[in-house]
Amino acid sequence: MQFKLRPKSNMSIVFSLGQGTTGTRALFHAMCHLNVTGVHYGQVCFNAENTSDLSHDQVVAIKAQNDLVDLFNALTKCAGKDGNSCPLVAAMRILHEIKISVARVIFSGTVDFISDTPYPNLVSFVKEAIHEARPGVEPLYLMTERDPQEWTTRRIAMHSEHVFCRYYFDLEDREVEMFDNEHPEHDPLDWSHCVKYAAKHSPKEDAVATEVFVTLQQLIKETGGNAKSLQKVVARTQRAYERYQNKCLQMQNLIYKIDFFKMSERTDVELLAKDLYEKSFNSNSLRPHSREAFRKAGVSLLNPEDPTNNAILTPRKMGASFINEVIKMH
């Protein structure tokens, strides 16, 4: 990666591993509440009331995050959204640009929390970028869990533009378990792996993107309404997500996990922030130097009713006037 390092602190980057529709937005808002700068798909959280308060590096990060939303939408179109496709080489260019934008966010030195698409779909790349951006400081992980069957049902119904790796869906039922065992590191939700494992089947130079990257919408369309084929898509989606989630739950430096869908009531952001703080950032489960780094960075449990408190950051959505103004900045 050819990016200039701009280390702002010895604080760990916190990476939310949860896929979309697992409660990642609530976690993002809770982290903002704890005074942690962060990004979440179409939202950013920075300590600036006006665009004039932003540093150059913050502007770089916000612009890069905005680019990621556009690039993700471009990749979904290439991968079969609404019946579209594109040449594989075009999809590869988009993936390259996605990685560059991810690196810009991380190497800006101004973002301490990353979550939601595309970060959980590039775990191997993101981990590498974090280690290069903050050498000697291990990343920390949060995980929002969900029952794999529930996740699959919701994703198909509400987010069928989700991009998977084609190779995993092309495997026959008798092959998939053997493939999982032979390639324990593979992840059919990691777009870098889409390329890595598709290469084993040698896509032709004139291949289309849907031979490597494929949306749920495209996979369902290809079943032609055949019940058996549709059942295979659903079962393979569930297996892919379950594999991803189990691997995440076994990762070192996983400091917090939560399943919002096992709760009887909707999670309050303030209560979630308190739980996060007490179980993670102010707990003995963290190494003393990490806890001290978070303290020095201003990560704390704040009283939102205190009139003197101005440290709770405000999430801002892409498309809002604040963000649009940032995008126009040089």
User: Residue 311: what pLDDT?
Assistant: 53
- What is the DSSP pairing of strand 38-40 with strand 43-46? antiparallel
pLDDT at 312: 59
The amino acid that residue 181 corresponds to is: N
Pick from 263, 15, 217, 190: nearest CA to 116: 15
Strands 43-46 and 213-215: unpaired
Which residue is listed with tokens 């934008």? 101
Instruction: Report yes or no: 94 and 78 within 8 Å, Cβ to Cβ.
Output: yes
Residues 6+ apart with CB under 8 A from 62: 44, 46, 54, 323, 326, 327
d(CA 81, CA 42): 19
> How many secondary structure helices (H) and strands (E) does the chain include?
13, 9
Counting Cα atoms < 13 Å in the Cβ hemisphere of 295 gives 10
Q: State the DSSP code for 120.
A: G
Q: What tokens does 270 get?
A: 């303030």
Strands 14-16 and 314-317: unpaired
DSSP state of 23: S
Question: Which ranges in 111-226 belong to alpha helices (H)?
Answer: 123-133, 148-158, 166-170, 173-182, 191-198, 216-222
How long a stretch of residues is the chain? 330
Map out the domains of the chain as residue ranges.
14-327
Q: Please tell me what DSSP assigns to residue 15.
A: E
Spell out the per-residue pLDDT of the chain, length 330, in tens.
444 444 455 789 999 999 999 999 999 999 998 989 999 998 999 888 888 888 999 999 999 999 999 999 999 999 999 988 999 999 999 999 999 999 999 999 999 999 999 999 999 999 999 999 999 888 999 999 999 999 999 999 999 999 999 999 999 999 999 999 999 999 999 999 999 998 666 667 688 999 999 999 999 999 999 999 999 999 999 999 999 999 999 999 999 999 999 987 788 888 999 999 999 988 888 888 888 888 888 888 766 666 555 555 777 776 678 788 888 886
With contact defined as beta carbons under 8 Å apart, do 167 and 194 qualify?
A: yes
Please give the helix or strand (H or E) that residue 258 lies within, else none.
strand 254-258
Residue 165 has phi, psi (to 5 degrees) of -90, 130
Q: Alpha carbon of 76 to those of 98, 216, 256: distances in Å? A: 12, 10, 30
Host H or E run for residue 26: helix 24-33
